[in-house]
Structure 1
Amino acid sequence: MSTNNHVLVEFADTHDGKEAEGLVDYRLEDQVGFLLRRAHQRASGIFSEHFRDSSVSPVQFAALVKIRDEGRVSQNQLGRLTHMDPATIMGVIKRLAARDLIRRYPDAGDRRRMMLGITSSGLKLVEEHVEMGRRVTEDTLAPLDPGERATFLELLAKLT
């Protein structure tokens, strides 16, 4: 018996059965956070495999796709659309702008605000990589049958 199991057994022996049973029945491998983290690791690894030659990260690709979808968007709005915190989105925008994949434009309605737009290089990158993005999803969900995939995505959407 390992030291950790021995300590748990000693602890369980010193408490009433109900409390000890709850400790013994807790399996990390059954916990939602653990499983979501493992699924995220799987998806991230598959993304890296498919996008290894593109030099674009998952968050950069998400930002480019959303800017393409929106036309022009403020940094704040882009952060909300991609569910990135302000510090993360600021870094993403800085890197995309440095690669000439996006441009900043003054907002005609509010001179204090800058709008973001995709450049022709950024648009080309998105167009060349959308199919890879679809394959990332397909490969990530490959262990599931089509019905399970639909259910899984529907349930995940409910959690977000």
Structure 2
Amino acid sequence: MTADRAPRNTASRATDRPGDASPFALGLLLRRAHWRAAGVMSEALRPLGIELRHFAVLIVLVDRGPTMQRDLAAATGSDKAGIMRVVDDLERRGLAVRKAVPGDRRVRAVEITPQGVELFDAVHVAAVPLAERLVAELEPGEPEKLTELLTRFAYGEDSEA
């Protein structure tokens, strides 16, 4: 660097380290938190033979009931081919079934089976000790506060629903 050139300000560059003050800091922290939480969830799912992508679909099916594949793709952030593979996997395991939609022979709705509901409930039981470990470093009341803040951040004004 020559003496007549001012040094570049590097204080606001993204570093992905604690204390990052860049405009990307929040997004980078959320990504890292997601990786950590997804790792814990995957640990809970692994013994039951499913992955996060499968569980994401089961969550939607339990919440909404029978759901068209295109709507599952939108709800889970998947693409058309990806959701087809996940539903294929769930069908092979007997956890979901595709059913014709009255009035449209081309469209299929996906429905969770009783075995799917049973697995869904088993995942929740298996996840309890892992979820507790995930927030073990937080002070009493902080897990609830973190959930409240993330809910407001993720859903905005709709977070009251």
Does TM-score exceed 0.5, indicating one fold?
yes
Instruction: Using the TM superposition, name which of 121-130 and 133-142 deviates more.
Output: 133-142
Q: 1:145 aligns with which of 124, 139, 143?
A: 139
Q: Deviations over 1:48-79 (max 9, x none)?
A: 32223111111211211221232211111222
What's the % identity of the aligned pairs?
33
Q: 2:55 aligns with which of 44, 61, 77?
A: 61
Residues 97, 27 of structure 1: alpha-carbon distance in 2 compared, 3 angstrom cutoff: same
| Runs of 4+ off more than 6 Å | none
Aligned residues: 147
Residues 96, 145 of structure 1: alpha-carbon distance in 2 compared, 3 angstrom cutoff: same
Is 1:90 matched with 2:84?
yes
CA contact (8 A) 1:105 1:116 kept: yes
Residues 142, 90 of structure 1: alpha-carbon distance in 2 compared, 3 angstrom cutoff: farther
User: Separation in 2 of the partners of 1:14 and 1:61?
Assistant: 59
Secondary structure of the equivalent of 2:67? strand
Secondary structure of the equivalent of 2:141? helix
Q: Which residue of 2 aligns with 1:121?
A: 115
CA contact (8 A) 1:43 1:136 kept: no
Between structure 1 and structure 2, the one with the greater Rg is 1
Q: Which residue of 2 aligns with 1:44?
A: 38
Q: More helix by proportion, 1 or 2? A: 1
- RMSD of equivalent CA atoms: 2.5
Secondary structure of the equivalent of 1:117? strand
Gaps of 5+ in 1: 1-9
Is 1:35 matched with 2:22?
no
Per the TM alignment, residue 105 of structure 1 is displaced from its structure 2 partner at its CA by 0.4
Per the TM alignment, residue 152 of structure 1 is displaced from its structure 2 partner at its CA by 2.3
Residues 137, 110 of structure 1: alpha-carbon distance in 2 compared, 3 angstrom cutoff: farther
User: Separation in 1 of the partners of 2:5 and 2:132?
Assistant: 48
Q: Which residue of 2 aligns with 1:23?
A: 10
TM-score normalised according to structure 2 size: 0.74
CA contact (8 A) 2:44 2:123 kept: no
User: Separation in 2 of the partners of 1:87 and 1:63?
Assistant: 14
CA contact (8 A) 1:60 1:92 kept: yes
Secondary structure of the equivalent of 2:30? helix
User: Separation in 1 of the partners of 2:154 and 2:74?
Assistant: 17
Q: Which residue of 2 aligns with 1:110?
A: 104
